[in-house]
Amino acid sequence: MFSLYKKELQSFFFSPFAYVLTALFMFIFAVSFIIPIGGMDSNELKFSFPNIFYNNFFYFIFIIPILTMRSFADERRSGTEVLLLSSPLSVTKIVLAKFLAIATVFLFMMVCSLFFPLVAMTKGTIMWSSLICAYLGFLLWGLACISVGMLLSAFTEYPIIAAILGEIVMEGLLFVDRFAGTALVAANPKLNSVITWFSMQRRFVYFSQGMFRLEDLIFFLSVTAVVLCWNIIVIEKRRWSRG
């Protein structure tokens, strides 16, 4: 499993792919960091790093399908999936190795973005409880989206299609929160509570406020685990169909 994890990680970092996506991630973060500073009308500025994540979810999530699109689709397109599925590794280990490799790249992006809080700390005060919870919440959100992106990649042999499907599905996940706020859903308390329970964006709000809730942690980890299991079933079914 470690050898496949290492191979996957090398495919990201031994090419410009990971660095281009990290640069894009940093660019989005930098623009969101600089704009409030450019618009300040006094010597004192108050802004929230969690708000940077929350207000730019669409742009950050745009990166994840690009990160996951090659996970299985590229294997099928190049014909290396046959070799991979005929290897001694179990499907569970294959899926986990690819997931951990992509998660490592995502974590690398987040670590690079710590540059901005460190710069702010030299000239101001950081609310560490809020910052740590925001990073944890965004990491959990990212892991769930990575598992979804990998699943969509397993359904097609074209990475571009996997990326497009990923963008549509992840935009749909963001729409859940807006849908829960519509008049039709708000008029039905039971329906509203069910839809709200599935809203990832609303759960992130608690993290952004510096509130660590066990139910939110369990929710994100459960979604990630369930989708990864679905991924394993899809790949296992294809392995058996090949004989």
| Predicted pLDDT of residue 40 | 59
Indicate whether 45 pLDDT > 60: no
Indicate whether 83 pLDDT > 80: no
Q: Identify the CA nearest to 99 among candidates 146, 163, 51.
A: 146
Please answer whether residues 53 and 138 qualify as being in contact, where contact means their C-beta atoms are separated by less than 8 angstroms.
yes
SS3 140: helix
Q: What is the mean pLDDT of the chain?
A: 82
Q: pLDDT tens digits for 184-230? A: 666 777 777 777 777 777 777 778 777 788 888 998 999 999 999 99
For residues 86-98, give the mean pLDDT.
88
Q: Is the dihedral angle over the CA atoms 154, 20, 51, 111 positive or is it negative? A: positive
Residue-wise DSSP of 145-173:
HHHHHHHHHHT-S-HHHHHHHHHHHHHHH
State how far the Cα of 123 lies from the Cα of 121, in Å rounded to an integer: 5
SS3 223: helix
SS3 199: coil
State how far the Cα of 25 lies from the Cα of 16, in Å rounded to an integer: 14
For residues 63-77, give the mean pLDDT.
87
State how far the Cα of 225 lies from the Cα of 107, in Å rounded to an integer: 18
State how far the Cα of 139 lies from the Cα of 106, in Å rounded to an integer: 8
Residue 182 has phi, psi (to 5 degrees) of -70, 160
For residues 117-133, give the mean pLDDT.
79
